């Protein structure tokens, strides 16, 4: 029995939308709380402090007037229970007020109500007149006559005055904060919804497509709806899906080709052996040569596949050392000279007078040139021409191999280096082979840091151009 089981102790997984919404909401609430605290601190330490400073400044010009009045009257009795005379003394003097363009500027302390928070105290700090609710937190300024303190001018801090209406103020602030919080919550929800719609929806589509891709649906694609990072993610996903789809197709084709290429010589071998066993065909030199040819073809196929598999995993060893390219080409051409003569092919080898030296694996290069010549001999018509040339090109060496007709279809050129690919004209096994020769050549060239390209030959056939660095 199989199925999906959920661990009851596993923590609940939150979606990215929930996480994003929570993050936005938390950020908004944090900002609101911080602004509230900052406003409260600013109001307490800033604005209220400013009002108290204005009250002290308002007291400054009153002190000399009170001192003069005390010196004239001899006591504070002339002000006790006489508010009219108290306000007369406390009234701002016109000379204390700045003027601009003959327009009187109101005193800031009057606008803040400092006059109504000031009280007169005697030398023992007993209230004489003024604000009745003087407490211990009052701000005091001494009144001196002849160097002796005869009284005190006290102002009640604005904080103490407003304590009576503090509850109502706090209630108002609470209501305002709740309203702002509610509006901010709605705003946060709208922002989170907008972000989820514009940003997370494409991400969710990519996630869903990735889930399908992991299940083997390589044909799945994601619509690219933007040019930002999410759009780039969608494009990269589509490229990945295309690559996986192509690799899967190549894998299936490869398995089918391997099965076909192995089945053919095995079927021939089985037919030959059954004919000999049934007495239909005698075991003579001709039959042995036929069997040996099929075994040789099968063995070469297995060796080529093994070599390509080693190249794919990077396990194919290369022993690079200084070698002479001129000598390698002359050796390979000499090896194929007899086959070329039998096929009626003329071979022209064009090499520079100065030897071309490079650092490479000589055996692998010999295998490379052998496969290229093998391909040319197989597919060039009898009586044709094969031209091989080599030259220096800066830090590289170039080898060109051109043959006469038949030519190659333009649509086939990009696929010549694919494994098991053979043109329609080369499907005959008697001449076509398994289609691994050029794939092996391409692998050897890449291992040396070079390039191998195919194009139409001026002679009417195929033009293979090889570039190899002198030092890898």
Fold of 229-311: Helix Hairpins (1.10.287)
Question: Domain locations in the chain?
Answer: 19-164, 229-311, 318-469
The answer to whether the pTM exceeds 0.75 is no
Give dist(CA 440, CA 116) in Å, integer: 104
Tens digits of pLDDT across the chain (472 residues) = 444 444 545 555 666 667 776 777 777 778 777 777 777 666 656 556 666 677 777 777 888 888 888 888 888 888 887 878 888 877 766 455 444 334 344 444 454 555 667 888 888 888 888 878 777 778 888 988 888 888 888 887 765 555 544 455 556 666 776 787 688 778 877 877 787 677 777 888 888 888 888 888 888 888 887 787 878 888 999 999 988 888 888 778 677 767 766 776 787 788 888 888 888 878 888 778 878 877 877 787 777 777 767 766 665 677 889 999 999 999 999 998 988 988 899 999 999 989 999 999 898 898 889 889 988 888 888 889 999 999 998 899 999 999 997 888 888 887 787 776 665 444 344 444 566 778 888 888 988 899 999 998 898 889 999 999 987 5
The continuous run of DSSP H or E covering 128 comes out as: strand 127-130
Instruction: Please check whether residue 35 is in contact with residue 87, taking contact to mean a CB–CB distance below 8 angstroms.
Output: no
Provide the token pair at 396: 């590289």
Local structure of 225: helix, strand or coil: coil
The strand order across the sheet containing 139-145 reads 127-130, 118-122, 148-155, 139-145
Q: What is the pLDDT of residue 273?
A: 86
| Percent helix / strand / coil, the chain, rounded to 5 | 55, 15, 30
Provide the token pair at 146: 């002849």
Q: What is the pLDDT of residue 109?
A: 45
Which tens digit of pLDDT belongs to each residue from 48-101? 666 667 777 777 788 888 888 888 888 888 888 787 888 887 776 645 544 433
Give dist(CA 403, CA 464) in Å, integer: 9
Q: What is the pLDDT of residue 469?
A: 93
Which tens digit of pLDDT belongs to each residue from 385-443? 999 999 998 899 999 999 997 888 888 887 787 776 665 444 344 444 566 778 888 88
Q: What is the pLDDT of residue 169?
A: 56
Q: What is the pLDDT of residue 319?
A: 84
pLDDT above 90 coverage of the chain, percent:
14
Q: What is the pLDDT of residue 207?
A: 86
Fold of 318-469: Heat Shock Protein 90 (3.30.565)
Q: What is the pLDDT of residue 438?
A: 83
Q: What is the pLDDT of residue 94?
A: 45
Local structure of 239: helix, strand or coil: helix
Local structure of 459: helix, strand or coil: coil
């Amino acid at each position: 029995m199989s199925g999906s089981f959920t661990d009851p102790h596993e923590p609940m997984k939150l979606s990215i939308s929930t996480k994003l919404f929570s993050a936005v909401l938390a950020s908004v609430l944090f900002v609101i709380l911080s602004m509230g605290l900052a406003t409260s601190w600013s109001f307490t330490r800033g604005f209220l402090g400013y009002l108290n400073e204005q009250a002290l400044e308002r007291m400054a010009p009153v002190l000399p007037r009170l001192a003069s009045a005390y010196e004239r009257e001899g006591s504070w009795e002339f002000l006790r229970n006489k508010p009219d005379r108290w306000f007369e003394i406390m009234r701002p003097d016109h000379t204390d007020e700045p003027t601009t363009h003959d327009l009187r500027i109101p005193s800031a302390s009057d606008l803040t109500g400092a006059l109504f928070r000031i009280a007169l105290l005697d030398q023992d700090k007993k209230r004489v007149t003024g604000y009745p609710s003087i407490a211990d937190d009052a701000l005091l300024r001494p009144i001196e006559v002849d160097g002796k303190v005869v009284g005190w001018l006290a102002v009640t801090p604005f904080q103490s005055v407003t304590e009576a209406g503090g509850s109502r103020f706090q209630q108002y602030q609470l209501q305002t904060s709740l309203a702002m919080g509610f509006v901010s919550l709605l705003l946060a929800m709208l922002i989170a919804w907008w972000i989820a719609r514009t940003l997370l929806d494409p991400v969710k589509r990519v996630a869903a497509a990735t889930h399908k891709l992991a299940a083997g649906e390589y044909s799945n694609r994601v619509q690219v709806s933007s040019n930002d990072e999410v759009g780039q993610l969608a494009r990269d996903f589509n490229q990945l899906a295309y690559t996986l789809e192509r690799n899967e197709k190549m894998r299936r084709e490869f398995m089918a080709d391997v099965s076909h290429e192995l089945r053919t010589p095995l079927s021939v071998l089985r037919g030959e052996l059954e004919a000999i066993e049934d007495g239909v065909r005698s075991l003579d030199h001709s039959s042995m040569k036929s069997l040996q040819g099929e075994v040789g073809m099968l063995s070469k196929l297995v060796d080529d596949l093994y070599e390509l598999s080693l190249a794919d995993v990077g396990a194919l060893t290369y022993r690079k050392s200084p070698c002479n390219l001129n000598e390698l080409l002359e050796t390979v051409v000499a090896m194929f000279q007899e086959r070329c003569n039998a096929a009626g092919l003329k071979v022209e080898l064009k090499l520079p007078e100065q030897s071309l030296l490079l650092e490479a694996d000589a055996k692998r290069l010999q295998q490379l040139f052998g496969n290229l010549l093998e391909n040319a001999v197989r597919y060039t018509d009898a009586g044709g021409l094969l031209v091989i040339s080599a030259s220096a090109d800066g830090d590289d060496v170039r080898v060109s191999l051109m043959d006469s007709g038949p030519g190659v279809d333009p649509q086939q050129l990009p696929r010549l280096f694919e494994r098991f690919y053979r043109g329609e004209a080369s499907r005959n096994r008697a001449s076509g082979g398994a289609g691994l020769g050029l794939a092996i050549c391409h692998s050897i060239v890449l291992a040396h840091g070079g390039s191998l390209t195919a194009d139409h030959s001026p002679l009417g056939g195929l033009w293979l151009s090889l570039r190899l660095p002198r030092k890898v």
